[in-house]
Amino acid sequence: MKPRNNFWAAFGYAGRGIWYALRRQRNLRVHVSVAMAVVWLAWVGHASRWQWSALTLAMALVLSLELMNTAVEAVVDLASPTFHVLAKAAKDASAGAVLVSAGASVVIGLLVFLPQLGHFGQDFMVRWHETPWLVGGVMAAMAAAYAVLWGKVPLRQAHEGGQNRFGETP
Q: CA-to-CA distance for 166 and 83, rounded, in angstroms?
A: 8
pLDDT of residue 8: 86
pLDDT of residue 166: 52
- For the chain, the structural domain boundaries read 9-152
DSSP 85-107: HHHHHHHHHHHHHHHHHHHHHHH
pLDDT of residue 108: 97
Catalytically annotated residue among 66, 73, 160, 168: 66
Measured CA distances, 121 to 21, 41, 44, 45 (Å):
35, 11, 9, 9
Whether 168 is catalytic: no
Positions of the chain with pLDDT under 70: 1-4, 156-170
pLDDT of residue 5: 73
pLDDT of residue 163: 54
For residue 51, count other CB atoms closer than 10 A to its CB. Answer: 18
pLDDT of residue 170: 46
For 9-152, CATH number out of 1.10.287.3610, 3.40.50.970, 3.30.70.3400, 1.10.260.30 equals 1.10.287.3610
